[in-house]
A and B are shown apart, each in its own frame.
Chain A
Amino acid sequence: MSQNRREQLRKAEQAAARQQRLTRIIGVGAGLLVVVIVAVFAVVLISQANKAATAAPTAGQATPPHALADNLGIRPYPNATPQAGAPVVELFFDYQCPICKQFETIYGASLEKLASSGQIDLRYRPMIFLDVNLQNDASLRAGVAAACADTAGKYREYHDQIFANQPEQEGAGYADSLLRDTLSTKAGLSGDALTSFQKCYDGKLTQTWVQAQEDAGEKAGVTGTPTFKVNGKDVALKEFSNVSADQLGELIKKFS
């Protein structure tokens, strides 16, 4: 009897221990799941709050006059008329990207020649994803400023000024005073044009358009800049390695 009772006790103890073990395992497992779910919600909420902080002002948003429909960028040489059958050449760039500046320095003049003579249909497609990587908003503000300059017909001039004044160190960004006052004057804005440019810049009136260009670029599969497309097809940067500025036209022809 005593043996039997002891056996029963032992069994009950074992069952209780097993139960406890199961409870522990399920409890810790469930706890981990809860932690993951809470963390995902927290991260999504925080990143959305950050996005709200950089949302464009709702009043007075404007599209630059030489912008293309469907957020396909802007025409840097709006006075040129592309010849029939001229290839569509798209340059995706970010104002904080050093290689974009290099690209502009080497090929900018050739692109101008080709576009002005109508041999190519040149489109500039500004992107701002480096803001995210560099944790600032300089690409956005530079993009807003360039788009504002388009209202006065000085997009191209202003665009050149931004790259010419790109900080040595990637990530240093562009000061408001540089974009608002210095570069605008250098790009040839004065008088009423300068005043309305500054009003546009202060009110960030082209921000919605600039952000839409970024989204459109991302959806077009552009994940790095500069990205060069001819008739919608990528021309990898390595294709440019032995191509001088004078040979750019031939390269474009090869890919069109």
Chain B
Amino acid sequence: MRERAAAGSWQRWVTLVARLILGVTLIVAGALKVTAIDAAINSVRAYKLLPFEVTALVGTALPIIEIVIGLMLVTGTFTRVAAVLGSGLMLAFIIGIISVWVRGISIDCGCFAPGGAIDASQTQYPLEVARDLGLLILGAWTIWRPTAPFALDAWLFADAEPITTDADQENPR
């Protein structure tokens, strides 16, 4: 346990940075949309991927889910679970953006603000995909190495077994 921590000490800090960037991005993206749910629903509809009735549900739930996953990542609560969910979101976003790109639909991704149809010359699909891909990589790293400093997980998953050192054995409280 000690050895692993020592070997991966720099990795813990990479995870912290990855966790914070992905988490803060998700919180900001969610917060900007949660105040205008109808617009978020329109953004989802603009992708023309989901059946009409489902778009309302997804549009409503997505900003909340983003905020909650973001908070989990920032605080380091169930870090690995949060990273899996966050990476899943990014993967879904990438698929969504590529699918509108391929189908020749001109929209703003609606990632950080109400999206919708825009002029074809204003689309930024490569940039949007690249950004989400970067975030996906951060998420994947966090899944691989979820342990990082300043995480609630350290308290949450604190070992039930007392850490047995020589001193502890001599001195069992």
Chain A residues lying within 8 Å of B156, measured Cβ to Cβ, are 21, 24-25, 28
Instruction: Please report the C-alpha to C-alpha distance between residue A28 and residue B76 in the assembled complex, in whole angstroms.
Output: 12
Chain B residues lying within 8 Å of A40, measured Cβ to Cβ, are 60-61, 64
Of the candidates A13, A32, A219, which one forms a contact with B72 in the assembled complex, judged by CB atoms under 8 Å apart?
A32
Instruction: Please report the C-alpha to C-alpha distance between residue A171 and residue B118 in the assembled complex, in whole angstroms.
Output: 14
B126 adjacent to chain A (CB < 8 Å): no
Instruction: Please report the C-alpha to C-alpha distance between residue A29 and residue B77 in the assembled complex, in whole angstroms.
Output: 9
Q: Is the beta-carbon distance between B45 and A223 smaller than 8 angstroms? A: yes
Q: Which stretch of A109-117, A129-137, A173-181, A190-198 is in the interface? A: A129-137
A30 adjacent to chain B (CB < 8 Å): no
* Binary CB contact string for chain B from 109 to 141 against chain A (1 if under 8 A, 0 otherwise): 000001011111000000000000000000000
A237 adjacent to chain B (CB < 8 Å): yes
Chain B residues lying within 8 Å of A218, measured Cβ to Cβ, are 45, 52
Of the candidates B42, B78, B161, which one forms a contact with A129 in the assembled complex, judged by CB atoms under 8 Å apart?
B42
Q: Is the beta-carbon distance between A132 and B78 smaller than 8 angstroms? A: no
Q: Is the beta-carbon distance between B157 and A25 smaller than 8 angstroms? A: yes
Min CB gap B117→A, angstroms: 2
Closest B-chain residue to A99, C-beta based? Answer: B119
B36 adjacent to chain A (CB < 8 Å): yes
Chain A residues lying within 8 Å of B37, measured Cβ to Cβ, are 43-44, 46-47
A232 adjacent to chain B (CB < 8 Å): no
Q: Is the beta-carbon distance between A24 and B155 smaller than 8 angstroms? A: yes
Q: Is the beta-carbon distance between A14 and B61 smaller than 8 angstroms? A: no
Chain B residues lying within 8 Å of A9, measured Cβ to Cβ, are 172
Chain A residues lying within 8 Å of B152, measured Cβ to Cβ, are 28
Size range of the interface on B? 35 or more
Chain B residues lying within 8 Å of A50, measured Cβ to Cβ, are 38
- Residue among B46, B64, B162, B172 having the largest count of chain A Cβ atoms under 10 Å: B64
Q: Is the beta-carbon distance between A132 and B36 smaller than 8 angstroms? A: yes
Instruction: Please report the C-alpha to C-alpha distance between residue A20 and residue B162 in the assembled complex, in whole angstroms.
Output: 13
Q: Is the beta-carbon distance between B45 and A36 smaller than 8 angstroms? A: no
Q: Is the beta-carbon distance between A223 and B77 smaller than 8 angstroms? A: no
Chain A residues lying within 8 Å of B16, measured Cβ to Cβ, are none
Which residues 140-173 of B have a CB within 8 angstroms of A? Answer: 152, 155-162, 172
Chain A residues lying within 8 Å of B172, measured Cβ to Cβ, are 6, 9-10
Chain A residues lying within 8 Å of B155, measured Cβ to Cβ, are 24
Q: Is the beta-carbon distance between A32 and B77 smaller than 8 angstroms? A: yes
B68 adjacent to chain A (CB < 8 Å): yes
A-B residue pairs, 7 tightest by C-beta: A224-B117, A18-B160, A133-B114, A132-B38, A47-B37, A17-B160, A223-B46
5 contacts between A and B (CB under 8 A): A28-B77, A35-B68, A39-B68, A47-B38, A224-B118
Instruction: Show the binding face of A for B, using Cβ within 8 Å.
Output: 6, 9-10, 13-14, 17-18, 20-21, 24-25, 28-29, 32, 35-36, 39-40, 43-44, 46-47, 50-51, 99, 129, 132-133, 135, 218-219, 221, 223-225, 236-238
Instruction: Show the binding face of B for A, using Cβ within 8 Å.
Output: 34, 36-39, 42, 45-46, 48, 52, 60-61, 63-65, 67-68, 72, 77-78, 104, 106-107, 114, 116-120, 152, 155-162, 172
